[in-house]
Structure formats: structure tokens, C-alpha cells
């Protein structure tokens, strides 16, 4: 059976070499996500940056302060952040609205 372009692309995404960051205390700083794997880290009031260019496993990490924030310059990622924020805030109850993120 031939592998589709989509399947090959997914395998390439999953096979990317990641930079591991393990058992770190990260506080009040900018944290890049693309291509990093965070393992057993503690995040305290950080700003996550994600552009959607590489996977980002976050394993057994602890978040001490809310809210940490997530930002991106990628419009698709920004719109996804807005949608997830609305869904989280509405908890799937009532009227959920999805504003366009660039307005």
C-alpha cells in the first residue's frame, strides 16, 4: 500500500529531532515551544511562543501561576488560540463567539 503525501508529512513531523529541556524551573520569561520537549519542568508565569513549525511535547510538567500565556505570529495559530480561549471560557455553555484574532 502506498503512503499518502499526508501520511508521509505526519511521519516527518513526528520524527523531528527535538531539543530536550528537563527538570528546569522556568519563571517570568519567554519560552519557545517549536522543536523543544519539556520534561518535568515547572513553569511560573511564563509566556509561551508557538509558531506551529515543529512538535512540542510537554511531559509531566507543573504550572504554578495562572495565567501563563501563549502567543504566536502565525495567524493560524493565533486564531486557534482565540478559539480555545473562547471554548475554555464558555465551558461549552451558552453563547460562544469566535472573533477573528487580527481585529
User: Looking at residue 62, what DSSP letter applies?
Assistant: E
Cell reading at 43 = 513553569
Cell reading at 62 = 507543573
Q: Which tens digits make up the pLDDT trace of 8-28? A: 877 877 788 999 999 999 999
Q: In this structure, are 18 and 67 located in the same domain?
A: yes
Whole-model pTM: value is 0.76
Cell numbers 508529512 correspond to 9
29 close to 47: Cβ distance less than 8 angstroms: yes
CA dihedral of 20, 26, 28, 34, whole degrees rounded to 10: 10
The whole-number pLDDT of residue 93 equals: 58
Q: In this structure, are 48 and 92 located in the same domain?
A: no
Q: Which domain holds residue 81?
A: 73-103
What's the average model confidence in pLDDT over 44-65? Answer: 92
Residue with the bigger pLDDT between 29 and 96: it is 29
Confidence of residue 67 (pLDDT cuts 50, 70, 90): low
Q: In this structure, are 67 and 77 located in the same domain?
A: no
Amino acid at each position: 500500500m502506498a503512503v499518502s503525501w499526508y501520511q508521509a508529512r505526519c511521519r516527518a513531523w513526528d520524527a523531528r529531532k527535538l531539543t530536550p529541556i528537563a527538570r528546569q524551573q522556568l519563571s517570568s520569561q519567554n519560552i519557545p515551544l517549536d522543536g523543544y520537549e519539556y520534561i518535568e519542568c515547572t513553569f511560573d508565569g511564563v509566556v509561551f511562543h508557538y509558531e506551529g513549525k515543529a512538535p512540542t511535547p510537554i511531559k509531566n510538567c507543573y504550572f504554578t501561576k495562572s495565567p501563563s500565556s501563549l502567543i504566536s505570529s502565525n495567524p493560524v495559530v493565533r486564531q486557534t488560540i482565540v478559539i480555545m480561549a473562547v471554548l475554555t471560557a464558555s465551558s461549552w455553555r451558552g453563547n460562544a463567539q469566535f472573533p477573528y484574532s487580527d481585529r
